[in-house]
């Protein structure tokens, strides 16, 4: 993913990151469509990745994209349920292994 591990425990939010590749669960972002906000929730456990996403989505306009990077294994299930319950679209998600740890990435389109 885009940010190195942060031993201080600070989890930054980044603006203007590129869209993430991964299997689409709903129509994928248009090619070249930029993610408006990037939330690093690595190292956080449930419910913190969802709470960070909810707070970040509140700052976006309808249709803008948010990318969340998390390491919590339950985050896949959590983000699917969160999007279903809130009406936001989970447009892409994927997983990779980084430094021996599974990392999950989610792209959400604000309703």
pLDDT tens digits, 65-91: 999 999 999 999 999 999 999 999 999
Q: How many CB atoms lie within 10 A of CB 37?
A: 21
Dist. CA 62–CA 79, nearest whole Å: 18
Residue 46 annotated as catalytic: yes
Record the pTM. 0.74
> Pick the residue with more confidence: 26 or 55?
55
Please list the alpha-helical segments (H only) found in the chain: 48-57, 75-86
Average pLDDT, the chain: 81
Residue 25: the pLDDT is 38
List 1, 13, 24, 46, catalytic entry? 46
Q: How confident is the model at residue 29 (pLDDT cuts 50, 70, 90)?
A: low
Query: Which is it for strands 37-41 and 65-70: parallel, antiparallel or unpaired?
Result: parallel
């Amino acid at each position: 993913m885009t940010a190195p591990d942060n031993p201080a425990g600070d989890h930054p939010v980044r603006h203007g990151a590129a869209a993430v590749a991964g299997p689409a669960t709903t129509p994928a972002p248009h090619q070249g469509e930029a993610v408006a906000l990037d939330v690093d929730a690595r190292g956080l456990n449930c419910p913190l990745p969802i709470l960070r996403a909810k707070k970040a989505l509140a700052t976006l306009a309808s249709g803008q994209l948010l990318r969340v990077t998390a390491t919590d294994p339950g985050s896949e299930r959590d983000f699917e349920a969160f999007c279903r319950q809130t009406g936001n679209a989970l447009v892409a998600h994927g997983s990779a292994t980084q430094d021996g740890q599974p990392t999950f990435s989610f792209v959400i389109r604000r309703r």
